[in-house]
Amino acid sequence: MRFSEVIGQKKIKEKFIQTVREERVSHAQLLSGEEGFGGLPLAIAFSQFILCEDRKENDSCGECPSCQKTSKLIHPDLHFVFPVTVTKTNSKPVSDDFITEWREALIEDPYLSTNRWYNYLGLENKQGMIYTHESENIIKKLSLKTFEAEYKVMVIWQPERMNPTCSNKLLKIIEEPPPKTLFLMVSLLPEQILPTLLSRVQRINIPGIETDILVDFLQNRHDLPLGELRKVAKLANGSITRAIEFIISVDDYNTIFTLFKKWMRLCYKNNILGILEWVDEVSSLGREKKKLFLIYSLRMIRENFLLNSMPNYRDRLVRLSENEEDFSNKFFPFIHKKNIFRLTEEINKTISDIEANAYSKTVFLDLSFQVMGLIKN
């Protein structure tokens, strides 16, 4: 993948290219940004630029043997680590056991989402992990000499999914790697990375894709009116993944919006019986849809806080669909500076609990009790 194929992110691309030109490439970098912002495509494009045998001024050549291999994700000096799962026949899985599926999924969609990858793995209510034994595989690979290129590149997708023991075993090699070794970590939730590991990497924050660029991308791929595409791009808030999900999964988002609206009304009325029925309803969703609902709730809380605290900037800052805006016009007074941080904290905690396989009915009931108190303050 070349830089020219990465959507937007001009400043990040220029920064990567400049570090190579000036020969000051940091050996361990963390690309941190939301799903769909382009962290993974940037890591692959940077890898191809590093490994390219005939670099151009602003991109890899795309034609040399190295670029051809990197574009197919088969370059012998480009390595990948990503969340995997235990199977009936493999109790100690490593990324190499799933490399065929990984290449297939990533070539099909460089902006690969967590949900889509888990579908490739056949996971339903489980989550992928980077297990302890992965560290031994990483250390072994990086201790060898390069096969063809000047650099060895290790791309680690979602290092926050690393088992703590795995993270600890990698600390030394990340701090003192073999010569010409490059770690590129791509994180969606950097706050969940082991602090001692986080302190050893150079963090690069990946911003959302500009709305106009996102509209152009969607316009080339979807036969929808320009006005609809602009609305989708605004709601997606810089994420290609969210934009595509809005287009192809409208029913899911309508369901989630209905659940959120019902939840807030029940909490406002202190309707305990209604809350119990709502908890049963939301708990019947699969794990990833529960997380999607909670992430959606965070967005709605944020947008309503902006409506309340910055009414003069609502056209520039607030991203709501027509239905969401109709609901929020009555709801926003209840989200303010006295409860926004606690609400955000409680919902984030619930996301972590769901990821940790906590009993969802208890988790959502506890969260609902917290919300009942907070929105009435």
**CATH code, 24:** 3.40.50.300
DSSP H or E stretch at residue 372 = helix 360-374
Domain shared by 216 and 242, yes or no: yes
Alpha carbon distance 127, 289 (integer Å): 13
Which letter does DSSP use for residue 147 in this model? S
Position 377 scores a pLDDT of 66
Domain shared by 179 and 328, yes or no: no
Position 19 scores a pLDDT of 93
Alpha carbon distance 318, 336 (integer Å): 15
Provide the domain count of the chain.
3
Q: Please give the backbone phi and psi of residue 182, each rounded to the nearest 5 degrees, phi first.
A: -125, 120
Number of Cβ atoms within 10 Å of the Cβ of 110: 19
* 107 Cβ neighbours under 8 A, 6+ residues apart: 72, 73
Domain shared by 163 and 283, yes or no: no
Domain termination site, one of 226, 248, 270: 248
State which residues of the chain have pLDDT below 50.
none
Domain termination site, one of 171, 186, 205: 205
Domain shared by 86 and 165, yes or no: yes
Count of all residues that appear for the chain in the document:
377
Domain that residue 21 falls in: 3-205
Domain shared by 303 and 195, yes or no: no
Query: Tokens for 196?
Result: 């001692």
Position 248 scores a pLDDT of 61
Domain shared by 105 and 41, yes or no: yes
Position 284 scores a pLDDT of 92
Domain shared by 129 and 272, yes or no: no
Domain termination site, one of 150, 172, 205: 205
Domain shared by 224 and 112, yes or no: no
* 24 Cβ neighbours under 8 A, 6+ residues apart: none
Position 292 scores a pLDDT of 78
Position 266 scores a pLDDT of 96
Position 250 scores a pLDDT of 55
Domain shared by 170 and 36, yes or no: yes
Q: Is 155 helix (H, G, I), strand (E, B) or coil?
A: strand
Position 220 scores a pLDDT of 82
112, 69 Cβ separation under 8 angstroms: no
Q: Is 302 helix (H, G, I), strand (E, B) or coil?
A: helix
Domain shared by 54 and 186, yes or no: yes
Domain shared by 149 and 43, yes or no: yes
Which letter does DSSP use for residue 77 in this model? T
Q: What is the pTM of this model?
A: 0.69
Domain shared by 73 and 136, yes or no: yes
Query: Tokens for 176?
Result: 């003192």
Position 288 scores a pLDDT of 74
Q: Please give the backbone phi and psi of residue 32, each rounded to the nearest 5 degrees, phi first.
A: -115, 120
Give the Å distances, CA to CA, from 224 to 132, 229, 233.
47, 7, 12
Q: What is the pLDDT of residues 335-374, one digit of tens each?
A: 999 999 999 999 989 988 888 888 999 999 999 999 999 9
Alpha carbon distance 297, 288 (integer Å): 14
